[in-house]
C-alpha cells in the first residue's frame, strides 16, 4: 500500500526540514499551516508558500515526492483562548530568555489532533497509509528547572501517547494506517535536523522563518532566533539568515 504525508509546517527550519526528509524519500505530501492568531502568522504564511513553491521545483528535478496542496487553517479564534503567552498575547512581550510564557499550551497536541483527523479521511478516500509529520525536535525537550521539559508537547512520549489514543479513538479498520513522526521521536536535535536538511536543499534552509516577531528580518534576540543561531553554529554551517541584531 502506498504512503502519503500530512505535514504540519510553520515555515521554521524544524517543520520545513521534517517535510523535506519525507519528500526526499519519494512520498507526496499535503501541508497544513495553522493560523492561531499569533504575532508572526503573516510572515510565516508567506514563508510557507514560498518554500513549498521552491522545494517543489527541487523535488521535480530530483524525482522526489512533491507537495500537492497547502491548507491554510484559520484558528485565529484561539488567540482569545490562548491568553498570557508571548506568541499570542499582545500584552505579553517577547523575551530573550526562555520563560514558560513562551509555551502555547498543548499547541502541538491540538495541531496533531486536527492533522490526524484529516489523515484518517485521506487514508480512507485514497486507500493509503498516512504519516502525520511535525517538526518537534529533541532540544525542545531539555529540562527547564522544575517545570520539566521546556516544551512538554514536543516530547517523544507525548506523540507516542497521542498516536496510541488516536488509534483507540477511530475505527480499527483505518486506525493503524495513520502514524505520527517527529524528529524528537528519533532523538534528533535541532542541529541534526538542520545539517541533514542542508545536505538535501542547501541554502534554501536559510529562507525559513524562526522569529516570534513578524518583522521584515529576524529580530535576532528572541529565544527562537537565539536557538536558530546556536543550531547553525553547532551544525558547523555559516548562518546566512538576516537578523536585525
DSSP letter string over 167-235? HHSS-HHHHTTEEEE-GGGGT--HHHHHHHHHHHHGGGGGG----SS-SSSB-S-SHHHHHHHHHHHHT
Residue located via cell numbers 505530501:
29
The answer to whether residue 146 scores a pLDDT higher than 80 is no
DSSP E strand stretches across the chain:
3-8, 29-35, 67-74, 129-133, 178-181
Residues 108-143: tens digit of each pLDDT: 999 999 999 999 999 999 999 999 999 999 999 998
- Euclidean distance between CA atoms 58 and 205, whole angstroms: 13
Residues 89-109: tens digit of each pLDDT: 999 999 998 999 999 999 999
- Euclidean distance between CA atoms 5 and 187, whole angstroms: 20
Residues 43-75: tens digit of each pLDDT: 999 999 999 999 999 999 999 999 999 999 999
- Helices (H), strands (E): how many in the chain? 8, 5
Residue located via cell numbers 491554510:
72
- Euclidean distance between CA atoms 159 and 231, whole angstroms: 23
**pLDDT the model gives residue 52:** 98
Q: What is the mean pLDDT of residues 150-161?
A: 97
- Euclidean distance between CA atoms 22 and 130, whole angstroms: 12
0.85 surpassed by pTM: yes
Report the half-sphere exposure of 120 (CA within 13 A, side-chain side): 17
- Euclidean distance between CA atoms 168 and 165, whole angstroms: 5
Residue located via cell numbers 519525507:
22
Q: Which domains does the chain have, with CATH numbers?
A: 3-209 (3.40.50.620)
52 grid coordinates: 513549498
Amino acid at each position: 500500500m502506498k504512503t502519503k504525508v500530512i505535514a504540519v509546517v510553520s515555515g521554521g527550519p524544524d517543520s520545513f526540514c521534517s517535510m523535506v526528509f519525507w519528500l526526499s524519500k519519494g512520498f507526496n505530501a499535503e501541508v497544513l499551516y495553522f493560523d492561531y492568531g499569533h504575532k508572526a502568522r503573516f510572515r510565516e504564511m508567506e514563508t510557507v508558500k514560498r518554500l513549498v513553491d521552491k522545494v517543489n521545483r527541487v523535488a521535480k528535478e530530483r524525482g522526489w515526492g512533491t507537495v500537492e496542496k497547502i491548507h491554510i487553517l484559520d484558528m485565529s479564534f484561539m488567540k482569545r483562548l490562548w491568553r498570557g503567552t508571548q506568541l499570542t498575547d499582545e500584552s505579553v512581550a517577547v523575551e530573550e530568555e526562555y520563560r514558560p510564557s513562551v509555551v502555547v499550551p498543548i499547541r502541538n497536541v491540538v495541531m496533531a489532533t486536527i492533522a490526524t483527523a484529516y489523515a484518517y479521511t485521506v487514508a480512507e478516500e485514497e486507500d493509503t497509509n498516512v504519516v502525520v509529520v511535525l517538526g518537534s525536535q529533541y532540544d525542545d525537550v531539555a529540562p527547564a528547572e522544575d517545570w520539566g521539559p521546556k516544551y512538554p508537547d514536543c516530547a517523544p512520549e507525548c506523540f507516542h501517547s497521542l498516536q496510541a489514543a488516536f488509534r483507540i479513538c477511530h475505527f480499527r479498520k483505518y486506525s493503524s494506517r495513520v502514524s505520527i513522526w517527529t524528529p524528537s521521536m528519533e532523538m534528533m536535535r535541532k542541529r541534526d535536523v538542520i545539517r541533514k536538511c542542508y545536505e538535501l536543499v542547501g541554502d534554501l534552509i536559510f529562507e525559513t522563518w524562526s522569529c516570534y516577531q513578524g518583522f521584515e528580518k529576524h529580530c535576532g534576540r528572541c529565544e527562537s532566533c537565539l536557538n536558530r543561531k546556536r543550531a547553525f553554529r553547532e551544525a558547523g554551517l555559516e548562518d546566512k539568515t538576516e537578523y536585525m541584531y
